[in-house]
Each structure stands twice: as structure tokens, then as C-alpha cells.
Amino acid sequence: MRIAVIPGDGIGTEVVPAGLEALDATAARFGLTLEFAEFSFASAGYWQRHGTMLPPDWEETLRGFDAIYFGAVGWPDVVPDHVSLWGSLLQFRRTFDQYVNLRPCRLMPGVRSPLAGREPGDIDFVVIRENTEGEYSSVGGRIFEGTDRETVLQETIMTRVGVDRVLRYAFELAARREAGHLTSATKSNGISISMPYWDERVAAMKDNFPGVRVDKFHIDALAAQFVLHPEWFDVVVASNLFGDILSDLGPACTGTLGIAPSANINPTRASPSLFEPVHGSAPDIAGQGIANPVGQIWCGSLMLDHLGHPEAAAHLLGAIEDVLAFGPRDAPLTPDLHGTGTTAELGHAIAERVRER
């Protein structure tokens, strides 16, 4: 399997090596061949040298890979955030039609939830966000600007193809998971055209998956239930906007930003999918070697799963859980996990655990 590696900026360049070490250890353990090719584009340094975030042939360059393993992009002192983000990550998502954004929300051992009284195992769900259409469309405009009649319009776009393909992915995921439960985020009481359509497509898709238990919540109530009853959820599927909000709220309920992974997936495999931690380049701690590499390493597990190696993926995730469970006294956990370990030390500890467990 050929993997394009893009460390990007700031702590991206620190956590990616830890991620690669864990991937190498897992590949060796399971007899897999992972070939990494590293690229320096999609970074502030590249922008300073070339005046663009990406080379003109980036699409041909990346298209040949099986997956993209991404760190973080952004260095606001050098390049404005909207330039770095639109000039790189959002290009990848659109061009490669990565229509599923997947974020696991799992309370890991040794990690304190901001929700009182929650133990590891209590919270374990996945948010699936539609990643290409919905509320984030460029259809609309302004007229009568600067006058009393100033009018602004921005349309939500829901296509049958776009809605059905993300629902199908979410249902298939729910069907594979033990709980077999899918929750749909809606707001059909208030958004009276597009959201009833979303509900209709959920109801139609449900017929193909008789083994999956399905429910739906209005987004406002769902946000409250994420906090009050996170144990209710298994797979949560949502439109682009609702999914954006839930996919931050979910991981927030499970502790530090440093451990949260995400995947931008094109399930057709017609183009590569991209795996990146939820966090950014963290300029405030960059260069100190203390960034938590767990989000990046967990991304490796998601990537192995996507590439068709669920056992290797589960093994790597298990190694992460083991090391977190050792706690700050017995493992070199990073400062955000109340330890005194470094990025590299925690990375080594997880790779070592991959070899010995």
C-alpha cells in the first residue's frame, strides 16, 4: 500500500513521525507492506517558497496513492488561515470527492471526560458527516447591497445521490458494529423542505438494512443528549452543518483534542481518502516536542481499517488504549494527559506496545 504523507505545519511535523513509527510497527506485526512518500507541500514553508500551497500537478501526484496521511496545516503568522485551508485541505476533500467525514468519539482509559461520572467504555460512538453539499453551498448571493432592501440568500443543496451515498455508508457501518444502531440528526420541524427530504431518504435507506435499529432527533435535542446521555449513541449521521457541530461536540465529550482522529473518506476508492487528527498545528506549543501524538496515531488505525485491514487497525487502537490505561506514572503521557512525556517518548511507547501485545 502506497501512502502519501503530508506533515504540514507546526505540531503536524512532530506528531506525524510518531504516527509513522506506530504504523511501521503494526505493518511488521501483520506482514503488511506500507510504502510512505513524504511531501512538503500544504505548509506555510511551501507557501513562502512558492506563493501557493500546492504544486500545479498535486492532483496527479496524489491520485496514485492508496491514502493520504495528513498532519495539520496552518501558520497564521505567515499565511492567512483561509488561504492555507482553502488552498490545501479543502482542495483535497473536493477533488477527491471525500464525501464521508468520520469521527470516532470514544472515552479512552486514563482520559478524563469533562462529563461527570463517565468511565471508559461508557462513550463509544461515531459521527458521520456529509462532507460535500448540504448547507455549505456557494449557491446564493446579495442584491440591493447597502440599501434598505439589502437581501442575502444562501441555499442548502441536497441531492438524492449526495444524501443517499452518505446514508448508505452510515447504515453499512452501523450494520457492522455490535450495537447496530443508527441515529439521524434532523430538524424537519423547523427546516421544512430539505430536512423532511433527509428524513424521507433515511426511511427509504432503512428498508435495505433490517438489522439496524434507527432513530432520529432534532439537532437541538441531539446536542443536549450528546452531553446528557452519550451512551445512547452508536452511529450518528448528519448533514454537513449539523455534522460539523456534532463532530466537535462529540470528541469534546471524550476529553483532550490531542487524541481525536478523523477521516475524510471516498468509499468508492476511485480516489484516495485522507486521515488527519482533529487538532490543528498548535503554534502555542509547536517546537517543544510535547504535542500529544495519539490523534495522529489513531488516524493510522482508521487508515488501516479503510485499506481493508480491520485486525491490524484494532490491534493498533488496542495498543493506544493499553498505553493510555498505564497512566502518567507508568507511561510517558504528554502534559495534556497530565504526564511529563514527550511526543517521541509516547510514540515509542505505543509502537513498543504494538510489538508486544
Q: Whose CA is closest to 108, among 292, 355, 279, 312?
A: 292
Q: Which does 244 bind (CB under 5 to 8 A by kind): ligand NAI, Mg ion, none?
A: Mg ion
φ and ψ at 217, to 5 degrees? -135, 145
Length of the chain: 357
**DSSP labels for 115-159?**
STT--TTT-EEEEEEE-SSBT----EEEESTTSTT-EEEE--B--
Binding residue (CB under 5 A) for Mg ion from 14, 244, 321, 322: 244
Q: Which of ligand NAI, Mg ion, none interacts with 183 (beta carbon under 5 to 8 A by kind)? A: none
Backbone angles phi, psi at 263, to 5 degrees: -135, 135
Beta bridge partners of 152: 142
* Nearest distance, CB of residue 80 and ligand NAI, angstroms: 9
Size of the site for Mg ion (CB under 5 A): 2
* Partner from Mg ion, ligand NAI, none binding residue 103, C-beta < 5-8 Å depending on class: none
Residue with Cβ nearer Mg ion (130 or 244): 244
* Contact partner at residue 57 from Mg ion, ligand NAI, none, CB < 5 to 8 Å by partner kind: none
Nearer to ligand NAI, 109 or 283 (CB): 283
Nearer to Mg ion, 124 or 244 (CB): 244
- Residue with Cβ nearer ligand NAI (100 or 291): 291
Q: How far is the CB of 159 from ligand NAI (least distance, A)?
A: 26
- Would you tell me the crossing angle of helices 294-306 and 310-330 to the nearest 10 degrees? 170
Which residues are at the interface with ligand NAI (CB under 6 A)? Answer: 11, 72-76, 81, 85, 89, 257-258, 276, 279-285, 291-292, 295, 336
Query: Least separation, in Å, of the C-beta of 85 and ligand NAI?
Result: 6
Nearer to ligand NAI, 76 or 196 (CB): 76
Residue closer to Mg ion, measured from CB, 251 or 293: 251
CB of 232 to Mg ion, least distance (A): 22
Smallest separation (angstroms) from ligand NAI to the CB of 268: 23
Nearest Cα residue to 342 out of 301, 306, 290, 269:
290
> Can you tell me the distance from the alpha carbon of 169 to that of 325, in angstroms, rounded to the nearest whole number?
32
**Binding partner at 292 among Mg ion, ligand NAI, none, C-beta below 5 to 8 Å by kind:** ligand NAI
- Let me know: does 163 contact 198? Beta carbons within 8 Å: yes
* CA pair distance 13, 222, nearest whole angstrom: 36
User: What nine digits make up the cell of 322?
Assistant: 493499553
Rounded to the nearest whole angstrom, what is the least distance from the CB of residue 168 to ligand NAI in the complex?
A: 26
The kind and range of the H/E element at 215 are strand 213-218
Instruction: Give residues in contact with Mg ion (CB under 5 A).
Output: 244, 248
